Homo-oligomer: A and B are copies of this chain.
Amino acid sequence: MANVSVASVSRALNGHGGVTAETQQRIREVAARLRYVPHSAARSLITRRTHTIGALLPDLHGAFFSELIRGIDLAARARGLHLLVSSSHGDAEEAATALRAMQGRVDGFLVMTPHADEAFIEQNMPTPTPAVLINTHVPGHRHAVVDIDDRGGARAMVQHLVDHGRRRIVFIAGPEANNDVRERENGYREALEANGLGANQLIINGDFSEESGFRAAQAILGMNPRPDAIFAANDMMAIGCLSALAEAGVNVPGDIAVGGFDDIPMARYVSPPLSTVRVRIAELGETAMERLAQMIESGEDMVVPPRHVAGTELVVRASCGGSAPSRRRHAPPTGA
């Protein structure tokens, strides 16, 4: 102590006023000298604020989540918030457990999980805690929602293929439970229908793995008449396709054009470079975090911001045989 009561210390360090500039100065000096740090638990106990937000993600693996976390972290630290991460490895029960474990430890949730259907939300999300649902099409109005424009991106890709003369476009789907996939498939369908090709729907199931893309391409090569384009629901499957096609001696994009989704860093490096749909993932995370911060600050009469949809961007490279590849060899991929 520096000849002063705990109350004054609190006031001095929090800068709430009610204390002379001089004593504030003195207290701060002493605090620094003593390497005093306020006990955050005690503070949280009385303040009911933890200055921490909890992120529940389906997995922490791969470029997607890396980018997402990065965006979230960026926005969080800009606001002086801490980030508590947790992955819910596939299992819905595990996700619920993780959510419960974070309960009370955080001021708000950032939730992205395939298990987040309405019942799950209802059951496991404490009403008073603000939450932003990422990429989760739940109609509820109690939580904010931030989505990727999967449908629009898929439409753009298919439209591009159609514009360049492709007519028999196969879509390689992903795991059925996945919302993104459903939306990408919807976009595929809409684009075909918009071009009077509704009857040409060709859908093969995959599971997001390179392997499944490889197998899908083999199946496609056996189809008659042979398709002239493949649109995979993600880049890894598209890359699997490229392998299979190369192995079979099929020319890409001459014989078959290939498009993916995500624009993972690798997409630029495969041969031929993969056309794909870029999602500004870090931006998605930032937006979600910003929304959440806003909800938290709004306090009692919480305002739930309207649904936000993160745009996508068609990245044309050699694999889809469109215009000259827009890939400049040594420009770093934007946003990556």
**A residues within 8 Å of B by Cβ?**
35, 37-45, 50, 52, 59-63, 65-67, 69-70, 73, 77, 80, 82-87, 98, 100-105, 126, 209-211, 214, 239-240, 243, 247, 265-266, 269-271, 329-330, 332
Q: Cα distance A247–B330 when bound, in Å?
A: 12
A85-B85, A266-B265 are known contacts. Are A214 and B102 too (CB-CB below 8 A)?
no
Of B42, B50, B103, B330, the residue contacting A37 (CB under 8 A) is: B103
B66-A330 in contact (CB<8A): no
Contacts of A332 in B (CB 8 A): 209-211
A82-B82 in contact (CB<8A): no
Q: Which of A62, A104, A105, A209 has the most CB of B within 10 A?
A: A105
Q: Cα distance A140–B17 when bound, in Å?
A: 42
B52-A60 in contact (CB<8A): no
Contacts of A239 in B (CB 8 A): 269
Of B66, B69, B83, B269, the residue contacting A270 (CB under 8 A) is: B269
Contacts of A100 in B (CB 8 A): 37
A77-B86, A82-B101, A84-B52 are known contacts. Are A330 and B271 too (CB-CB below 8 A)?
no
A-B contact pairs, 6 of them (CB 8 A): A38-B104, A60-B73, A61-B66, A73-B85, A77-B86, A83-B86
For A55, the closest partner residue in chain B by CB is B85
Of B41, B243, B247, the residue contacting A44 (CB under 8 A) is: B41
Known: A70-B87, A73-B87. 4 other contacts (CB 8 A): A52-B84, A61-B70, A63-B66, A247-B329
